[in-house]
C-alpha cells in the first residue's frame, strides 16, 4: 500500500496560552529589564536597556548567560575581572537578580489596557486561559495574586523553573495542555511579546500571535508611548511587527485587545484542515 491515512483536526480553538510581562501585565515589559541592568552594574559591567532586552522571554538564568556571551559584555567582564566569565558567575548574577526582582515585581502587576475585557470575551466563548512565563515560581507567587486583585487570573500558570528547560523549548506549553486537558497542539494559540515566546509556541505545534506595542519590542510605558511622535511610533511598530513575523508568528497585534477576531480567523483555517 502506497498511502497512509492522516487525521486532521477540524474543530475550533480551545485554549490560549499567554505570556505575562509585556503581554498581559507590565506595559512595556519594564520590570525585568531595569533589574538586569542593575545587577550587571553592581559588577561594573555596563549594559544598555536595549542589550538587556535582547534575550527577553527566556528563563532569567539563561537570559543572564546570553547577555554574558555578548562580545561587548564579555570583553568588559574580562577587563574588570581579569578573566573570562564562568558558570559560577552566571549563578551568582542570577542569585543577585532574584531578590532585586522580588522587591519590585508587584509594582508591575497592573493588567495592560484591554486584557481583562479580552479575557472576559474569550471565557464567554468557552476558551480556556493558560500561561507561561520566564519568571520563577517564587516571583509568580507574588505577581499572580497582585494581578488577580486587579482583575487578571489565568486558569494555569507554568513557570520557567518548573520544566526541564524553558523557552524556546515547548515544555511549558505542554504542561499547560495537560493541566487544561486540551489537545492536539493546534487547538491552542500561544501569545507573547518576544521571539522566545513565538518559538515556544511553534515548537509546541501551536498557532502563535506576537504582541508588539505594549511589549518588549517597543519597551516603553504607556505614557512614554503617548509622548512619541506619530512617525517614530509608526516606524517602531512596523519594525516590531516585522521582527516577530520573521520569527514565525502567524499573526501580530499591538495589544491583546485586538486578538479575538484572530481566533475567528484561526477557526476558519482549522475548519479547512490547516495546521500551524
Over residues 116-168, the pLDDT tens digits come to 999 999 999 999 999 999 999 999 999 999 999 999 999 999 999 999 999 99
User: For 209-244, how does the pLDDT look when each residue is reduced to its tens digit (9 = 90+)?
Assistant: 999 999 999 998 999 999 999 999 999 999 999 999
Sheet holding 207-211, edge to edge: 158-159, 128-133, 15-18, 188-192, 207-211, 251-253
Please indicate, yes or no, whether residues 214 and 243 belong to a single structural domain of this protein: yes
3-state helix, strand, coil in the chain (%, to 5): 55, 10, 35
Measured between alpha carbons, how far is residue 133 from residues 23, 37, 267, 271 in Å?
10, 20, 26, 30
Domain end call among 107, 128, 143: 107
Please indicate, yes or no, whether residues 179 and 61 belong to a single structural domain of this protein: no
Higher-pLDDT residue of 58 and 115 is 115
Please indicate, yes or no, whether residues 260 and 210 belong to a single structural domain of this protein: yes
Average per-residue pLDDT in the chain? Answer: 93
How much is the pTM? 0.88
Phi, psi of 219 (to 5 degrees): 70, 30
Please indicate, yes or no, whether residues 256 and 234 belong to a single structural domain of this protein: yes
Report which listed range, 3-7, 76-80, 104-108, 239-243, is most confident.
Answer: 239-243
Instruction: Tell whether 176 is covered by a domain.
Output: yes
Long-range contacts: 84-91, Cβ < 8 Å, 24+? Answer: 90/61, 90/64, 90/65, 91/61
Q: Which residues pair with 242 in a beta bridge?
A: none
Domain end call among 91, 107, 123: 107
Supply the pLDDT for residue 60. 85
Please indicate, yes or no, whether residues 99 and 169 belong to a single structural domain of this protein: no
Helices 230-246, 195-203: crossing angle, 10 deg rounding: 30
Phi, psi of 158 (to 5 degrees): -115, 125
Please indicate, yes or no, whether residues 71 and 138 belong to a single structural domain of this protein: no
Please indicate, yes or no, whether residues 138 and 250 belong to a single structural domain of this protein: yes
CATH of the domain at 101: 1.10.150.240
The pLDDT > 90 percentage for the chain reads 77
pLDDT of 71 above 80: yes
User: For 19-31, how does the pLDDT look when each residue is reduced to its tens digit (9 = 90+)?
Assistant: 999 999 999 998 8
Instruction: Tell whether 8 is covered by a domain.
Output: no
Domain end call among 66, 89, 107: 107
Please indicate, yes or no, whether residues 120 and 174 belong to a single structural domain of this protein: yes
* Cα torsion 109, 117, 258, 169: sign: positive
**Could you tell me whether strands 251-253 and 128-133 are parallel, antiparallel, or unpaired per DSSP bridges?**
unpaired
238: annotated active-site residue: no
Supply the pLDDT for residue 14. 98
Instruction: Tell whether 9 is covered by a domain.
Output: no
pLDDT of 263 above 90: yes
161: annotated active-site residue: no
Residue range(s) defining the domain that contains residue 88: 32-107
- When divided into structural domains, the chain yields a total of 2
pLDDT of 1 above 80: no
Catalytic residue among 60, 61, 128, 190: 60
Supply the pLDDT for residue 153. 98
pLDDT of 34 above 90: no
Tell me the C-alpha distance between 166 and 196, whole Å.
Answer: 9
Higher-pLDDT residue of 181 and 83 is 181
- How big is the CA angle at 172 (ends 254 and 54), to the nearest 5 degrees? 50
Please indicate, yes or no, whether residues 103 and 218 belong to a single structural domain of this protein: no
Q: What is the mean pLDDT of residues 179-203?
A: 97
Supply the pLDDT for residue 222. 92
pLDDT of 194 above 70: yes
Instruction: Tell whether 10 is covered by a domain.
Output: no
Supply the pLDDT for residue 257. 95
Residue of 128, 148, 203, 149 whose CA lies nearest to 173: 203
Supply the pLDDT for residue 230. 94
Amino acid at each position: 500500500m502506497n498511502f497512509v491515512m492522516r487525521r486532521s483536526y477540524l474543530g475550533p480553538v480551545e485554549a490560549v496560552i499567554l505570556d505575562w510581562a509585556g503581554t498581559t501585565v507590565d506595559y512595556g515589559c519594564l520590570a525585568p529589564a531595569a533589574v538586569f541592568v542593575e545587577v550587571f552594574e553592581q559588577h561594573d559591567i555596563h549594559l544598555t536597556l536595549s542589550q538587556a532586552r535582547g534575550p527577553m522571554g527566556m528563563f532569567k538564568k539563561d537570559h543572564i548567560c546570553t547577555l554574558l556571551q555578548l562580545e561587548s559584555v564579555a570583553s568588559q567582564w574580562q577587563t574588570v575581572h581579569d578573566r573570562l566569565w564562568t558558570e559560577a558567575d552566571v549563578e551568582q548574577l542570577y542569585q543577585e537578580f532574584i531578590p532585586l526582582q522580588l522587591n519590585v515585581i508587584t509594582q508591575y502587576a497592573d493588567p495592560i489596557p484591554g486584557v481583562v475585557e479580552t479575557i472576559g470575551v474569550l471565557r464567554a466563548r468557552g476558551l480556556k486561559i493558560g500561561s507561561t512565563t520566564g519568571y520563577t515560581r517564587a516571583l509568580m507567587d507574588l505577581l499572580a495574586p497582585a494581578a488577580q486583585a486587579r482583575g487578571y487570573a489565568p486558569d494555569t500558570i507554568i513557570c520557567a523553573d518548573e520544566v526541564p528547560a524553558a523557552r524556546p523549548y515547548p515544555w511549558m506549553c505542554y504542561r499547560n495542555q495537560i493541566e487544561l486537558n486540551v489537545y492536539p497542539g493546534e487547538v491552542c494559540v500561544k501569545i507573547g511579546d518576544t521571539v522566545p515566546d513565538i518559538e515556544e509556541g511553534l515548537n509546541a505545534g501551536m498557532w502563535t500571535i506576537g504582541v508588539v506595542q505594549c511589549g518588549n519590542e517597543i519597551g516603553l510605558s504607556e505614557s512614554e508611548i503617548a509622548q512619541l511622535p506619530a512617525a517614530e511610533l509608526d516606524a517602531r511598530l512596523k519594525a516590531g511587527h516585522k521582527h516577530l513575523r520573521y520569527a514565525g508568528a502567524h499573526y501580530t497585534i499591538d495589544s491583546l485587545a485586538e486578538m479575538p477576531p484572530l481566533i475567528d480567523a484561526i477557526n476558519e483555517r482549522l475548519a479547512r484542515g490547516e495546521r500551524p
